[in-house]
């Protein structure tokens, strides 16, 4: 095979691998959306609320400078996690995001202190992965309906679950190596 054909073949293979990844990711998103207990509209509203909250926090001089504030939304409940240096900034963050259309409640779990290091954030990502994997593997819990957020070894659980699922999910998360604390932000539904 001559050099131009070899280059063309390699380029096409690389492009096709990207397409395959996009198809798989798109399919996984469709399965997750279809099994979600939120309506499709609520899922879209949650994504919009996160974007609006992130923008509001970034545009405000007080919350933007020196803070590490993360935003998660599930069925109109906005969860704020991260670190900031003062109670005033913590309260300002809550005030900014509570005004956003579609936000029913704000769970302000921002901690006072220094921002976490990249190694801590990497470890938090690993903890979230382990908790989510355990939730998906358990037959008594609908793991697809539980969002897991980890911040400085604290695990926050969000979702629409019944009381038994909530208790089981908390128990599972508590027993994952590296978890310091579990905080529930569930919306409970009747069986």
Check pLDDT > 70 for residue 5.
Answer: no
Lowest mean pLDDT among 39-43, 107-111, 169-173: 39-43
**Same structural domain for residues 11 and 52?**
no
**Region for 159 from its dihedrals, namely left if φ exceeds 0, alpha if ψ lies in -120 to 50, beta otherwise:** left
Angle between helices 87-98 and 40-59 (to 10 degrees): 140
**Same structural domain for residues 83 and 48?**
yes
Give the closest residue to 124 by CA, choosing from 70, 74, 163, 171: 70
State the chain's mean pLDDT as an integer.
88
Q: How confident is the model over 61-71, as pLDDT tens digits?
A: 999 998 999 99
pLDDT at res. 23 = 44
**Same structural domain for residues 85 and 108?**
yes
CA distances from 130 to 72, 110, 121, 157 (A): 19, 23, 14, 13
CATH number at residue 124: 3.30.1340.30
Its domain, for residue 140, covers: 118-188
**Same structural domain for residues 174 and 130?**
yes
**Same structural domain for residues 179 and 157?**
yes
Give the residue, 66 or 72, on which the prediction is more confident.
Answer: 72
pLDDT at res. 142 = 87
* Domain end among 88, 112, 136: 112
Q: Return the residue matching tokens 């979702």.
A: 159
Give the closest residue to 60 by CA, choosing from 18, 87, 97: 97
pLDDT at res. 33 = 61
Report the residue count for the chain.
191
Check pLDDT > 50 for residue 17.
Answer: yes
pLDDT at res. 24 = 42
């Amino acid at each position: 095979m001559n050099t131009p054909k070899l280059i063309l073949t390699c380029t096409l293979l690389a492009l096709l691998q990207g397409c395959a990844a996009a198809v798989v990711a798109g399919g996984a998103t469709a399965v997750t959306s279809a099994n979600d207990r939120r309506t499709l509209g609520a899922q879209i509203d949650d994504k919009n609320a996160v974007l609006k909250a992130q923008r509001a926090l970034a545009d405000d001089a007080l919350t933007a400078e020196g803070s590490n504030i993360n935003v998660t939304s599930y069925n109109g409940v906005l969860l704020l996690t991260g670190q900031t240096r003062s109670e005033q900034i913590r309260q300002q963050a809550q005030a900014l995001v509570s005004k956003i259309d579609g936000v029913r409640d704000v769970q302000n779990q921002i901690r006072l202190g220094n921002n976490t290091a990249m190694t801590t954030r990497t470890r938090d990502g690993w903890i979230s992965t382990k908790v989510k994997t355990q939730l998906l593997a358990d037959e008594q819990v609908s793991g697809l309906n539980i969002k897991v957020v980890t911040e400085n070894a604290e695990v926050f659980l969000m979702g629409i679950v019944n009381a038994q699922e909530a208790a089981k999910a908390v128990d599972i998360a508590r027993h994952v190596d590296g978890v310091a604390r579990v905080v529930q932000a569930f919306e409970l539904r009747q069986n």
